[in-house]
Amino acid sequence: MRVAVVGVTGMVGQVMLKVLAEQNFPITTLIPVASERSVGKEIAFGGSTYQVVGLETAVEMAPDVAIFSAGGETSLAWAPKFAEVGTVVIDNSSAWRMDPTKKLVIPEINGDSITAEDKIIANPNCSTIQMLMALAPLHKAYGIKRVVVSTYQSISGTGVAAVNQMMNERAGESGEMAYPYPIDQNCLPHCDSFLDNGYTKEEMKLTNETKKILDNNINVTATAVRVPVQGGHSEAINVEFERDFDLADVRKMLHETEGVTLQDSPETNTYPMPLYAAGKDDVFVGRIRRDESQANTLNMWCVADNLRKGAATNAVQIAKKLIANNILTVEMA
Ligand code: 2RA
């Protein structure tokens, strides 16, 4: 299969290459795509070396799949051009997520909704993916009415400049400022830009994407906070159900959910932490307990690697779903 990775030199692009290799995705030709300043750079993959090409050239090469992580503007301008030559685009930006004609997919939840007509498929936001991986099985069992979520998002979600700022601050050095305030030793209730309703775009992604993927009747209110953690997003989730639940059943359901690992044993200080979730593909759930202040309501703590299941791994899993559902065919070697 001819696979383009658009934004290949970025943090998510690099993780995409890693995950494609780890999962033995059936690539016969890799087409690494980046901005003009990177054209000609060599990328090692699967025992071969490939040269980075620009977008125009990549479209002419008509890959079977193009996995994008190159920002919304590039996706809006170029995803349709790839689709026109028959490429299936899986886009990690927010550009297409709320487009009513585009599918927004977490393979374990709604991967089977994809059809051969879907030429541009949107990857949800990282914080949405991990939250819904934990909530989807519980919604089926008890019917979710409302979610109150606070996120503790790693600095890698902002980008390499923010990671550099934090590391410089930690080393007592000055350098490029990605944020107007210090990141290290600080918490910033400011992920993405502010909207007229007082929320940030990041917070409204949790609301809007939950409604699109899981159920339009679910009410979500979010507070997204940037914390001085290099990798891995954490979330404190309070969820109110239509019906009562049994804690043992909740734990059993989550334990049995593919892609979710239960880490919930307070007596042994066992709970999810971003430092230990980094580099892994599962969503880790713990601190499960009844909200004693309100009927039919549960608290939980959820952690995942925002560059893996929150972005690259979910995108690669969508591509694998296309093969499993015979939407993409693998040419025999
Ligand atoms: C963040 N969700 O963590 C975004 C990543 N693009 O800022």
Structural domain boundaries in the chain:
2-123+311-325, 127-154+187-304
Q: 307 CA to middle of ligand 1, Å?
A: 9
Query: What residues contact residue 250 under an 8 Å CB cut-off, 6+ apart?
Result: 138, 288, 298
Given this model, what pLDDT does residue 330 score? 84
Of the pLDDT bands very low, low, confident and very high (cuts 50, 70, 90), residue 73 is very high
Q: Check whether 66 has a pLDDT greater than 60.
A: yes
Q: CB of 75 closer than 6 A to ligand 1?
A: no
What topology does CATH give the domain 2-123+311-325?
Rossmann fold (3.40.50)
Compute the distance between CA of residue 100 and CA of residue 29 in angstroms, rounded to an integer.
Answer: 32
Q: Compute the half-sphere exposure of residue 199: CA atoms within 13 Å on the CB side of its CA.
A: 15
Burial 125-146 (b: 16+ CB within 10 A, else e): bbbbbbbbbbbbbbbeebebbe
Of the pLDDT bands very low, low, confident and very high (cuts 50, 70, 90), residue 329 is confident
Nearest atom (ligand 1) to Cα of 233: 3
Asked if domains 2-123+311-325 and 127-154+187-304 share a fold, the reply is: no
Q: Check whether 1 has a pLDDT greater than 80.
A: yes
Compute the distance between CA of residue 52 and CA of residue 9 in angstroms, rounded to an integer.
Answer: 9
Helix, coil or strand: residue 309: helix
Helices (H), 85-225: 107-110, 126-142, 160-171, 201-213
Q: What is the pLDDT of residues 152-187, one digit of tens each?
A: 999 999 988 999 999 999 999 989 899 989 999 999
Instruction: Report the predicted TM-score, pTM, of the whole model to 2 decimal places.
Output: 0.97
Of the pLDDT bands very low, low, confident and very high (cuts 50, 70, 90), residue 333 is low
10 is in an annotated binding site: yes
What ipTM goes with this model?
Answer: 0.91
Ligand 1, atom 7, lies closest to the CA of: 157
Nearest atom (ligand 1) to Cα of 158: 7
Q: Check whether 110 has a pLDDT greater than 60.
A: yes
Q: What is the pLDDT of residues 190-209, one digit of tens each?
A: 999 999 999 999 999 999 99
DSSP 190-249: -SS-B-TTS-BHHHHHHHHHHHHHT-TT-EEEEEEEE-S-SS-EEEEEEEEESS---HHH
Q: What is the pLDDT of residues 221-234, one digit of tens each?
A: 999 999 999 999 99
CB contact at 8 A, 152 and 233: yes
306 is in an annotated binding site: yes
Q: Check whether 331 has a pLDDT greater than 80.
A: no
Q: What is the pLDDT of residues 126-135, one digit of tens each?
A: 999 999 999 9
Helix, coil or strand: residue 252: helix
End-to-end CA distance of the chain: 10
Helix, coil or strand: residue 90: strand
Query: What residues contact residue 138 under an 8 Å CB cut-off, 6+ apart?
Result: 144, 239, 241, 245, 250, 253, 254, 298
Ligand 1, atom 6, lies closest to the CA of: 157
CB contact at 8 A, 240 and 145: yes
What topology does CATH give the domain 127-154+187-304?
Dihydrodipicolinate Reductase; domain 2 (3.30.360)
Q: Compute the half-sphere exposure of residue 243: CA atoms within 13 Å on the CB side of its CA.
A: 9
